[in-house]
Structure 1
Amino acid sequence: MGADRFSTATRLKALGTALVQGPAAARVYRAGPPRRSRLTGRAALLALVVCSLVVALAYPMRQWVTQRSDIAEQRHRTEQAREQVQRLRDEKARLEDPAYVEQQAREHLHFVRPGETGYTVVDGSGTDRPRRDEGAADRPWYSNLFDGVDGSDGHR
């Protein structure tokens, strides 16, 4: 009976019988067993659970990624601060050396020892600055400094 059930002759015979009995019987035959939808209740529940987990974990994951980048940035800043502290310690050690302090005073402030003669070399750039350095060697260094500040203020 199982083999006859699916043969073409058996189907045609059943269809003919159904047509003779009326259109309602033919409709029942054509409809066959009810179709099951592809989305079962379990699959829908699983999809709902997965979506809920994604939504529930999205914000904490975003926070975690943000915090990780903040931590990396803070580590970078810490390393830069350590490097700056080391540079400042080195500078402090150099400033504790009297020879270095004397060299800086000679270079930047044009200090000379008693009995030495100080010379200033002009670069010869030909700028039209008024010569205010006449007699500058005879004045104290702080007067020259203040004159330089006043002069630069007037040339703006």
Structure 2
Amino acid sequence: MAERGRARTRRGGRAPSSSARRPERARRDSAARRDSSRRDGPRRDIARRAARAEGRRARLRRGLSATRASGAARVLGLSNTRRAAVLAIVVCALAFTIAVPLRTYVTQRSEVSVEEQKRERLQDEVAQLEERKAELADPAQVEAEARRRLRYVMPGETPYMVQLPEDKQQAQNPGPAQPPAPQGAWYEQLWENLRK
């Protein structure tokens, strides 16, 4: 590796410096540098020191972050793949712990909506019954209901029953016939059904 500011010859010795070759010019250049450094010296030195300090801080930050990451890996003894697997396991565990309460919440919300619908139906029914109760508070309405539904009459009145032809037909044909009651024990009926 070549040293800075020094040139070497092929034989390994030192080459004569440029100041040795041209002594006057080197002296003039060094004098000019000294003069300019006297004028700008303190400012340049401060700027150089600040730049060096920034460089050191940046290197120190990079080094600290690298040592922190590598330190965590050393403490846990995990590679990147293992760390990713551990992270996946942790995420799955969190998902499972959240899934059960979430499912319970969703089912309860559906049950609540069903119960609210039932409550609305019952409120409608209560409102209808309240109206009916208000209607039946009138004695004339109670009397009309007794005459219509129970066929009551007031004392001294003669009741008449009017039968229409449709009523006779319904009395003669009473709906669908019910099957006859089975006769005998159940096992006998089973045997009869199997033989058929």
Q: TM-score, normalised by structure 2?
A: 0.41
CA distance in 2, matches of 1:78, 1:108: 31
Counterpart mapping for 1:48-67 below 5 A:
48-67=89-108
Confirm or deny that 1:94 pairs with 2:143: no
Confirm or deny that 1:40 pairs with 2:81: yes
CA distance in 1, matches of 2:125, 2:152: 30
**Where do 5+ consecutive residues of structure 2 fail to align?**
1-79, 173-196
Which of 1 and 2 has greater Rg?
2
- Partner residue, 2:148: 107
CA distance in 1, matches of 2:98, 2:163: 72
Cα deviation, residue 113, structure 1:
3.5
Counterpart mapping for 1:4-153 below 5 A:
40-124=81-165, 125-126=168-169, 127=171
Cα deviation, residue 114, structure 1:
4.4
CA distance in 1, matches of 2:122, 2:129: 10
SS at match of 1:40: helix
Cα deviation, residue 123, structure 1:
2.9
SS at match of 1:122: coil
Cα deviation, residue 93, structure 1:
0.5
Cα deviation, residue 46, structure 1:
2.3
CA distance in 2, matches of 1:108, 1:55: 63
- Partner residue, 2:28: none
CA distance in 2, matches of 1:79, 1:90: 17
**What do the CA deviations read for 1:114-156 (whole angstroms, capped 9, x no partner)?**
454321012331546xxxxxxxxxxxxxxxxxxxxxxxxxxxx
Letter in 2 for 1:117: T
Cα deviation, residue 42, structure 1:
3.2
Structure number with greater CO (CA < 8 Å, separation at least 6) is: 1
Cα deviation, residue 107, structure 1:
0.8
Cα deviation, residue 43, structure 1:
2.1
- Partner residue, 1:26: none
Number of equivalent positions: 90
Cα deviation, residue 84, structure 1:
1.7
**Where do 5+ consecutive residues of structure 1 fail to align?**
1-38, 129-156
Cα deviation, residue 111, structure 1:
2.5
Q: TM-score, normalised by structure 1?
A: 0.50
CA distance in 1, matches of 2:107, 2:121: 21
Identity %: 43
